[in-house]
């Protein structure tokens, strides 16, 4: 049975998770590697949309610092949480819709973020897979 306190906590966690995804969006738009990297757990793993596997924050940081500031795209990118599944109270699987809007047309990604809540209440990206959505 869900108590009112559990429901409020769940809503607060959902809001915190959405805030992390919104920060992913804003740091991507700003090409801000440090802001982006602050969202990761030190033991995180990341698989890029093109299949590059990065294990640990050092590897994610090296890649991000090399790629993000020089990234080019015409238009803007948006991120939207489309589903959150709590695997445990402190672990959530978060499905995201990522859209690059450009004059040539939109392209879409379908990231999956496994996020963990830290002792201080912050939610961090822990295991992430970005997948390109192909228009077939």
Tens digit of each residue's pLDDT (9 = 90 or more) over 14-69: 999 999 999 999 999 999 999 999 999 999 999 998 899 999 999 999 999 999 98
114 half-sphere exposure, CB direction, 13 A CA radius? 12
Residue 130: is its pLDDT beyond 50? Answer: yes
Q: Give ∠ CA 59-51-122 in degrees, rounded to 5.
A: 50
Q: Which domain holds residue 71?
A: 4-133
The whole-angstrom separation of Cα 41 and Cα 50 is 22
Cα 101 versus chain centre, distance:
18
Residue 5's pLDDT is 44
Helix (H) or strand (E) holding 97: strand 91-101
131 φ/ψ angles, rounded to the nearest 5 degrees = -130, 130
Banded model confidence at residue 2, pLDDT cuts 50, 70, 90: low
Residue 8's pLDDT is 53
Mean pLDDT of 123-128: 98
Residue 132's pLDDT is 87
79 half-sphere exposure, CB direction, 13 A CA radius? 20
pLDDT, one tens digit per residue, over 81-106 is 999 999 999 999 999 999 988 888 88
Query: Dmax of the chain from CA atoms?
Result: 50
Residue 47's pLDDT is 96
Residue 59's pLDDT is 98
Residue 98's pLDDT is 94
Residue 9's pLDDT is 59
> What is the chain's percent helix, strand, coil content, to nearest 5?
35, 40, 25
CATH of the domain at 120: 3.10.450.50
49 φ/ψ angles, rounded to the nearest 5 degrees = -65, -15
For residue 17, give the nearest of 87, 77, 71, 68 by alpha carbon: 87
The whole-angstrom separation of Cα 107 and Cα 95 is 17
Please tell me the total count of domains within the chain. Answer: 1
Residue 4: is its pLDDT beyond 70? Answer: no
């Amino acid at each position: 049975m869900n108590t009112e306190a559990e429901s409020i906590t769940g809503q607060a966690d959902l809001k915190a998770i959405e805030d992390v995804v919104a920060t992913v969006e804003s740091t991507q738009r700003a090409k801000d590697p440090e802001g982006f990297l602050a969202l990761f757990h030190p033991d995180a793993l990341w698989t890029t949309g093109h299949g590059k596997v990065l294990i640990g924050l050092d590897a994610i940081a090296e890649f991000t610092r090399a790629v993000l500031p020089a990234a080019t795209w015409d238009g803007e990118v948006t991120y939207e949480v489309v589903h959150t599944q709590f695997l445990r109270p402190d672990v959530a699987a978060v499905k995201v819709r990522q859209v690059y809007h450009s004059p040539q047309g939109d392209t879409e990604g379908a990231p999956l973020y496994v996020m963990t809540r830290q002792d201080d209440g912050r939610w961090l990206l822990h295991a992430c897979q970005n997948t390109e959505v192909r228009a077939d």
